[in-house]
Chains A and B, each alone.
Chain A
C-alpha cells in the first residue's frame, strides 16, 4: 500500500534535548513538507523540500532542521532552540505540478516535559 508513515506516534522530550521525527513516503512524490498544528490554529509550515538535497524554510523554521538525502525520506529535528515545541507535527507530500495536492501522514504528537 502506498502512503506516508511517521514515527513515533507519541514522543516525550525533556527540555534541552534534540529529537528527530521520521517521515517516509512510498508514493514517489517529489515534494515533502513539515507542518505543526497547535490547538485553535491552522497548520503552519516549518520546512519543505521539492527535490533531494534541497529544502526551503517555511513560516516558522526557527529551532528546527531537516535533511533530504533520499526522495522517500524527510526527517525533522526539533532542537533545544525551539522555545515551545509541544505540538502535533504533520508530514505531507505531493507530486510536482499536481496543483500542490498534499497528502498527510498520521502525525507525531510531541510533548516537552
Chain B
C-alpha cells in the first residue's frame, strides 16, 4: 500500500469550473499536509499547507483535511488554463520527513 495515494488523472475540467483533487494517506500519525503545483519540466511550488481538520481557504484554493478518514483534498474555484499542471499531495509525520504522492494531472479546457 502506497503511503500517499492520488489518482494520476488526467482530470479535465472546463474553464471556470471547480476542480477537485483528492489524496489519501496511510499514516494516522501524520500532522502536516501540503499541496504543491508542478508545471511540466519545472520544480514543485508550495500552494497550500493545512494542519488541522476542516477547510483552509487562500484565494481560489481551498484545502480540506479529514484526519478521521485520512484524506486531504484541494478545490480550485474558477479554474483557469494556467492552473493546468500536476498537483502533488505531501504528508509529514514529523522528524523532517515528507512523503509525496505521484501527483494528479489537471487539464483546464478553455
Contacts and interface: CB of A to CB of B under 8 A. Distances in A.
B49 A101 contact: yes
Q: Describe A's contact surface by its main secondary structure.
A: loop
B87 interface: no
Nearest to A102: B98
Interface residues of A, number: 22
A31 B96 contact: yes
A73 interface: no
Given A41-B102, A50-B96, A101 B44 contact: no
B96 A48 contact: yes
Given A41-B102, A99-B51, A105 B43 contact: yes
- Interface size range of chain B in the complex: 20 to 34
Contact of A104 (B32, B45, B92, B99): B45
B96 A94 contact: yes
A107 B39 CA distance: 13
Given A48-B96, A101-B49, 20 more contacts: A33-B96, A35-B100, A42-B4, A42-B101, A42-B102, A42-B103, A45-B98, A48-B97, A50-B96, A90-B44, A99-B32, A99-B49, A99-B92, A100-B32, A100-B92, A100-B94, A102-B34, A104-B46, A106-B43, A107-B42
Interface of B: 4, 8, 31-32, 34, 36, 42-46, 49, 51, 88, 90, 92, 94, 96-103
